């Protein structure tokens, strides 16, 4: 094979590769956009009481009341939430208080705000890293994981934050190939819900919160509010803090 033949063969192969790549990119770009299911209910429909009987723990009844800071929380967000609640939770017999924060955004904006960044890095509240842990709700194989953070809220007090989220899965469209659906998934952040439970309860009371509040709340959200197939996790998106 002569040198000229090799050159022309290389040019032909390169052109064919460009043609295939161009056709592939066009196929992915021209496909219909991903369609995501909506929430089945709004967070405003959450019950005002939740009675729970967790294995190995006494029965507990949680009350949920509107928190006066909800309006200011909504105004402080750098995005427009689809749904948001900020409620005071209390188990009077166990003398446990907490705050429940749920926020839903249409394009994953809620995923860009994490307790370790907002509280530790921005507000400068020290974290007690030995208490940080991933808490599995029920069977670890089910991947119902919640991230626990603990911060110093004073010389003798602590603030514990449980963080997790749900990412919506696109609906199957007959006119959309799996490659187009995959491309659309990575082209934009999908709708999601962030959940946080904040409490000043002592470490001795954490099992009551983790087993008798977090797990039942997750069950309730899955059963009545979240769309089918929403994926739970507690990983955080990589974000940077802008210097002032």
CA–CA gap between residue 193 and residue 174 (Å, rounded): 27
Query: For residue 210, what are the contacts with CB-CB under 8 A and spacing of at least 6?
Result: 135, 137, 146, 148, 162
Neighbour-count burial of 78, counting CB atoms closer than 10 A to its CB (0-12 exposed, 13-18 middle, 19+ buried) = exposed
The reported pTM is 0.79
Q: What is the pLDDT of residue 171?
A: 75
Distance CA 84, CA 103 (A): 4
Greatest Cα pair distance in the chain: 90
Number of H helices, E strands in the chain: 6, 9
Q: How far apart are CA 188 and CA 184, in angstroms?
A: 7
* CA atoms of 232 and 214, how far apart (whole Å): 13
Q: What percent of the chain has pLDDT over 90?
A: 50
Average pLDDT of the residues in 144-156 = 87
Which of 34-38, 154-158, 239-243 has the lowest average pLDDT? 239-243
Beta bridge partners of 149: 161
Q: Alpha-carbon distance 148 to 186, whole Å?
A: 28
Taking 50 as the threshold, does the pLDDT of residue 22 lie above it?
A: no
Residue position matching structure tokens 């004073």: 154
130: left (phi over 0), alpha (psi -120 to 50) or beta: alpha
Model confidence over 43-71: pLDDT tens digits? 888 889 999 988 888 899 999 999 999 99
160-208 pLDDT per residue, tens: 999 999 999 887 666 656 555 555 555 567 899 999 999 999 999 999 9
């Amino acid at each position: 094979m002569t040198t000229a033949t090799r050159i022309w063969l290389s040019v032909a192969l390169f052109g064919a590769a460009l043609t295939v790549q161009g056709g592939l990119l066009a196929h992915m770009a021209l496909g219909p956009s991903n369609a995501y299911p909506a929430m089945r209910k709004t967070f405003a429909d959450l019950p005002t009481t939740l009675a729970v009987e967790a294995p190995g723990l006494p029965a507990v009844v949680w009350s949920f009341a509107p928190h006066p800071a909800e309006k200011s929380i909504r105004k402080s967000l750098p995005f427009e939430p689809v749904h948001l609640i900020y409620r005071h939770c209390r188990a009077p017999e166990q003398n446990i208080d907490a705050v429940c924060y749920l926020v839903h955004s249409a394009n994953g904006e809620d995923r860009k705000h994490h307790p370790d960044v907002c509280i530790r890095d921005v507000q400068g509240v020290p974290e007690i890293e030995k208490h940080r842990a991933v808490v599995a709700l029920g069977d670890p194989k089910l991947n119902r994981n919640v991230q626990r953070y603990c911060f110093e809220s004073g010389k003798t007090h602590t603030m514990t934050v449980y963080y997790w989220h749900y990412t919506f899965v696109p609906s199957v469209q007959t006119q959309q190939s799996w490659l187009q659906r995959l491309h659309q998934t990575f082209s934009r952040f999908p709708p999601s819900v962030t959940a946080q439970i904040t409490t000043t309860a002592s470490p001795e009371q954490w099992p009551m919160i983790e087993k008798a509040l977090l797990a039942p709340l997750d069950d309730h959200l899955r059963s009545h509010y979240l769309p089918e197939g929403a994926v739970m996790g507690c990983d955080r998106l990589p974000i940077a803090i802008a210097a002032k």
